[in-house]
Amino acid sequence: MHVSTTVAKWRERRRLAAGRTIGFVPTMGALHRGHGSLIDRCREENEIVVASLFVNPTQFNDPKDLERYPRTLDADLAMLEELGTDEVFAPAASELYPNGYEFNVEFRSLADTMEGAHRPGLFQGVTTVVLKLLNLIQPDRAYFGEKDYQQLKIIEAMAADFFLPTTIIPCPTIREMSGLAQSSRNALLSHAARDRAASLYRALRDAPNPESARAELESEGFDVDYVEEHWGRRLAAITIENVRLIDNVPLTNCASHASLP
């Protein structure tokens, strides 16, 4: 496994990979089984597997959230090597933003609700860094988890609108035995809070409608930002122990929709 920490070094590595299929898994580190499933899928479908490790400052509207985001570089590199990753791109912010934050991607829709409404600037930061990474890595395929479903839909739309040659591959959410979606933010929770947080998945799955799911979550003491239905999914965001968690389930998996064809 080769690790590039600068754009110049990565470009050298990219030239060596010319003519082979490249799969790309962008991450912000603090890797878990969910990331591992993306790497495994990428390994199956491409000759070269590339992963990035970069905590993107432009998608955090709260500086405290950026400061406390878990950073586990050594463990992440060990996990990527064990999974058979060929190339890792782990730049400093100054490498990806050499002119500061002078330019960013703007768009008119898709980001006005849910995460976009509650985290101003999130999707501008996400789409900007993803566009930079896709331009640098030049992958045939890029893999994104369905847990961040709104983000996935926005990245798919951006890639299509900018005529990017990369195919965006959605991958299923990986869950703990309790049902809690695997997330880097879970590491910030106490064991008791992780057990309680599994109620998010159960409420989304079992409630007859979004209003009932929200009421159930609030009755259990969670701060609820939203429970909404879009793209054939029921999506929600809650806060527990000052940690914000998101999740979603297909409507076909919800109790109220289980009988639908």
| pLDDT computed for residue 50 by the predictor | 98
Q: What confidence tier does 259 reach under pLDDT thresholds 50, 70, 90?
A: very low
Residues written for the chain: 261
Q: Does 195 share its domain with 234? A: yes
Q: Pick from 85, 119, 122, 90: which is nearest to 107 by CA? A: 122
Q: Does 98 share its domain with 47? A: yes
| pLDDT computed for residue 12 by the predictor | 97
β-partners of residue 247 are 236
Quote the domain boundaries for residue 225: 184-251
DSSP-assigned letters across all residues of 164-185: -SPEEEEEPPPB-TTSPBP-GG
The count of domains in the chain is 2
| pLDDT computed for residue 239 by the predictor | 96
| pLDDT computed for residue 109 by the predictor | 76
257 is an active site residue: no
β-partners of residue 12 are none
The Cα 14–Cα 226 span in angstroms is 42
Q: What confidence tier does 256 reach under pLDDT thresholds 50, 70, 90?
A: low
Choose between 257 and 207: higher pLDDT. 207
Contact 174, 199 (CB under 8 A): no
Q: What is the DSSP letter of 242?
A: T
β-partners of residue 98 are 100
Contact 189, 197 (CB under 8 A): yes
Q: Does 188 share its domain with 158? A: no
For the cut 50, the answer to whether the pLDDT of residue 192 exceeds it is: yes
CATH number of domain containing 92: 3.40.50.620
Q: Of 150, 171, 192, which residue constitutes the final position of a domain?
A: 171
Q: Does 151 share its domain with 215? A: no
For the cut 50, the answer to whether the pLDDT of residue 118 exceeds it is: yes
Question: Could you read off the pLDDT of 202-216 as tens digits, one per residue?
Answer: 999 999 999 999 999
Q: Which of 32, 35, 118, 230 is catalytic?
A: 35
The Cα 227–Cα 238 span in angstroms is 9
256 inside domain: no
The Cα 162–Cα 254 span in angstroms is 35
183: left (phi over 0), alpha (psi -120 to 50) or beta: beta
Q: What is the pTM of this model?
A: 0.93
Half-sphere exposure of 208 (CA within 13 A, CB side): 0
Question: Could you read off the pLDDT of 80-106 as tens digits, one per residue?
Answer: 999 999 999 999 999 999 998 889 998
Residue 87 CB contacts under 8 Å (≥ 6 apart), including other chains: 1, 2, 3, 4, 10, 13, 17, 48, 49, 50, 51
Of 8-17, 26-35, 46-55, where does mean pLDDT reach its minimum? 26-35
| pLDDT computed for residue 112 by the predictor | 83
